[in-house]
Amino acid sequence: MPESGTKSGSREQLEIYLREGRSLSGRERSVLFLNISDPKRRFSDVSAISGIDQDGDGRGLALTDWDADGDLDVWISNRTAPTVQIFENRWGSKSGDFLSLKLQGTKSNRDAAGARVTVLLKGQENAPLIRTVRLGEGFQSQSAKRLHFGIGKDSEIASVKVRWPGPAYEEERFEGITVNCFHLLKQGTGRAELLTPKAGKFVTPPAVATSENDPVPPASEVTSILLPMRQLFPKIRYRDLATGQEMVGAEAGKPTLLIMWHPECLSCFAELEALAGETERLKALGIDCLATTAEPSEDEDPKRAAEVIAETKFPFPVGFTPEPVIERMLALNRHLFYRPYHLAVPSAFLLDGKGRLVSVYRGEIDLDTVAKHLETLAWSEDQLAEKANLFQGARVDKAMGLRPAVLIKIYIEHRMPDEAERILRFNAAHQTVVRQLNEVTQTIGQSYLVLGDYPSAKRLLLEAIDHDPKDTQSHNNLAAVYMKEGDSAEAKRLWQAARELDATFAAPRLNLGKLLMKEKQTTRAMGVLLELLALEPDSADGHNYISMGYLRTGDLFTAERHLKRLIELRPSDGIAYVNLAKIYLNLRDLLAASAIIEQGIAAEGVDPRSRQSLHRLMEQL
């Protein structure tokens, strides 16, 4: 495929094996939220919502001009079936010219691995095109060694220079290079040879075949996407611009148009002004309208937002969105589009009466398009999946559809258990949630626990135990919640229950042993800790607490053995050095005491208090 930088812009036409689809036009752009965007920004995301995502476990990716037509085709290997997928690029050189260069070393290695080629175009000498010959790209992948350059339409070559790899690292200019041709550059010749590469052939099943005469639609300005599946949008919390009150949006039970903007964005100003002029039509559409911007930073004027709203005469509610809400929007955006931290302004989201995301708009909002999207609210899920497909072609397999369990996982990974719980409650009957309901509930509860929200953690973990009374992980985590709340008796009961439910689960044994040791129930604690070490012989904490028990019972030799193992597993444990030194002093083994004290003082990461204790013990010697 012609590479980015072509004068006419690049547009991919890809055919996946057994299925055809066209990507949206437009160059990929990386824009963080609150960057000022072009109101004509195009969508270029290829993702789950586009309908061409694959559920295979992808591993390798290789680029090569398989059919020798001047563009790069894509090969993907998967761990799961289909093990190989082929995307044919059908655009060819229509959108831009190309150069294809194969290098052959004579003084350097024959494959020219490490050679760097620089192409300069006339009139663009300050923008060199640089490629390097590599013998491996990515995991289990090797793209073609032929170097491909997309150079735009009607470009002229100013020069082609090769820096050959060692031992000499010579630079060499090459003549005789022709646009839209394949060449061999042999080290030391200075002149390119024309090549006629062998062209591979793509075989397309009749069900998805298209004619070579089929017209290619022109590149279009795509500024909106109607989603073929509707995920619950994050709860919209904002501080009202007029009153300063904390508010929650999109809770009136009817569609809401949420506009994200920024006071210093000229496109945002134009968009708010245009919507202000369409007030009556927005009301006639029966939707609420809400505009929010990020809370102003320290170097921003907090009054600027109010000034913009006054100037644009925007009549709908306006507010400041806190960072946690924006982060939740970004998490959903990544889930839908597989693009990290890309959320430009102005952006807008149409939500249905249940708070689900219907469509996304970037830049100028066309109310005719909004009206059409509102009509889809009456469609069934099957109708939506069929009619909202963004790509042409025939589908030979059913689309994966909504995957709330995946979104729950994303929210948990981003430490957002509240949104994960909202998705759980909203999609409790969905098959991807039902078949792992207890695991999902328990994981959200554990996430609350990690963040210190103990009431929410307790609520979810109790619910998980109610689903499955034998869920040992929930018993273990719920006990930790009770310990945080000061109820050690209930914590002890739950850890004992988890211990009895699963003879192979180490965590409750460690936790119960620690608690019993703290309560001076040494004999009982040591029995539990010995069970732990039988399951996990390399548990540093296990050796730590069991050594305390042996010290209490006066078994210094066994305590010594566990402390030595503890130091091997955790060399920065200062208390272990101190306790072991005291054992040697008690046994009057001064050489061993001196050696372990010196080892502890020299060890990295020992806490200052333990280091001071070791110095005092050294002085006693």
So what's the pLDDT on residue 511? Answer: 96
Residue 127 domain flag = yes
Band of residue 32 on the pLDDT scale cut at 50, 70, 90:
very low
So what's the pLDDT on residue 565? Answer: 97
* CATH code at position 423: 1.25.40.10
Residues 349 and 283 in one domain: yes
Q: How large is the C-alpha radius of gyration of the chain?
A: 33
So what's the pLDDT on residue 55? Answer: 62
Residue 345 has pLDDT above 50, yes or no: yes
Residue 532 has pLDDT above 50, yes or no: yes
Mean pLDDT check: name the lowest of 15-19, 331-335, 345-349, 389-393. Answer: 15-19
So what's the pLDDT on residue 203? Answer: 73
Residues 144 and 273 in one domain: no
- Tokens, residue 509: 């044994």
Residues 14 and 119 in one domain: yes
So what's the pLDDT on residue 89? Answer: 79
H or E segment and range at residue 309:
helix 304-312
Residue 513 domain flag = no
C-alpha torsion 291→295→298→301, nearest 10: 30
Chain mean pLDDT for the chain: 85
Q: Which of 206, 195, 201 shows the shortest CA–CA distance to 88?
A: 201
Taking only the tens place, the pLDDT of each residue in 377-386 is: 999 888 888 7
Range of the domain at 416: 403-503
- CA 119 to mean position of chain CA atoms: 35
Taking only the tens place, the pLDDT of each residue in 232-280 is: 999 999 999 999 999 999 988 999 999 999 998 888 999 999 999 999 9
Residues 172 and 58 in one domain: yes
Instruction: Write the DSSP assignment of 549-604 as a string of letters.
Output: HHHHHT-HHHHHHHHHHHHHH-TT-HHHHHHHHHHHHHTT-HHHHHHHHHHHHHST
440 neighbors 456 (Cβ within 8 angstroms) = no
Residue 550 domain flag = no
Band of residue 213 on the pLDDT scale cut at 50, 70, 90:
low
Residues 98 and 72 in one domain: yes
> Higher pLDDT residue, 266 or 28?
266
Residues 231 and 100 in one domain: no
Band of residue 393 on the pLDDT scale cut at 50, 70, 90:
low
Residue 543 domain flag = no
Mean pLDDT check: name the lowest of 58-62, 336-340, 559-563. Answer: 336-340
Residue 509 domain flag = no
The end-to-end CA distance of the chain, in Å, is: 76
* CATH code at position 287: 3.40.30.10
- Tokens, residue 83: 């093990």
Residue 432 has pLDDT above 60, yes or no: yes
Q: Which of 454, 469, 530 shows the shortest CA–CA distance to 502?
A: 469
Residues 18 and 150 in one domain: yes
> Higher pLDDT residue, 499 or 61?
499
Taking only the tens place, the pLDDT of each residue in 94-127 is: 668 899 999 999 999 999 999 999 999 999 888 8
Residue 16 has pLDDT above 60, yes or no: no
Residue 13 has pLDDT above 80, yes or no: no
| Residue where one domain finishes, among candidates 352, 387, 422 | 387
So what's the pLDDT on residue 212? Answer: 57
Residues 72 and 163 in one domain: yes
Band of residue 43 on the pLDDT scale cut at 50, 70, 90:
very low
So what's the pLDDT on residue 297? Answer: 86
Taking each helix axis from N to C terminus, what angle separates 417-426 and 404-413, rounded to the nearest 10 degrees? Answer: 170
Residue 14 domain flag = yes
Residue 218, Cβ density class (10 Å: 0-12 exposed, 13-18 middle, ≥19 buried)? exposed
So what's the pLDDT on residue 14? Answer: 29
| Residue where one domain finishes, among candidates 363, 387, 411 | 387
| Residue where one domain finishes, among candidates 387, 411, 438 | 387
Residue 594 has pLDDT above 90, yes or no: yes
Taking only the tens place, the pLDDT of each residue in 460-469 is: 999 999 999 9
Residues 264 and 210 in one domain: no
Counts for the chain of helices (H) and strands (E), in that order = 20, 21
β strands within 256-377, DSSP E: 256-260, 288-294, 318-321, 347-351, 357-362
Band of residue 536 on the pLDDT scale cut at 50, 70, 90:
very high
Residue 584 domain flag = no
So what's the pLDDT on residue 243? Answer: 93
Single-letter amino acid, residue 355: G
Residues 203 and 268 in one domain: no
So what's the pLDDT on residue 165? Answer: 94
Taking only the tens place, the pLDDT of each residue in 405-421 is: 989 999 999 999 999 99
Taking only the tens place, the pLDDT of each residue in 290-327 is: 999 999 988 888 899 999 999 999 999 999 999 999 99
Taking only the tens place, the pLDDT of each residue in 217-232 is: 554 555 788 998 899 9
Torsion angles phi and psi, residue 298, rounded to 5? -60, -30
> Higher pLDDT residue, 342 or 153?
153
Residues 149 and 291 in one domain: no
Residue 52 has pLDDT above 50, yes or no: no
144: which residues sit within 8 A by CB, 6+ positions away?
62, 63, 64, 65
Location of structure tokens 């101190």: 578
So what's the pLDDT on residue 384? Answer: 86
Taking only the tens place, the pLDDT of each residue in 174-197 is: 999 999 999 999 999 999 999 999
Residue 478 domain flag = yes
Q: Which of 177-186, 295-304, 389-398, 428-437 has the highest mean pLDDT?
A: 177-186
Taking only the tens place, the pLDDT of each residue in 486-510 is: 999 999 999 999 999 999 999 999 9
Query: What's the number of domains the chain is made of?
Result: 3
Residues 228 and 359 in one domain: yes
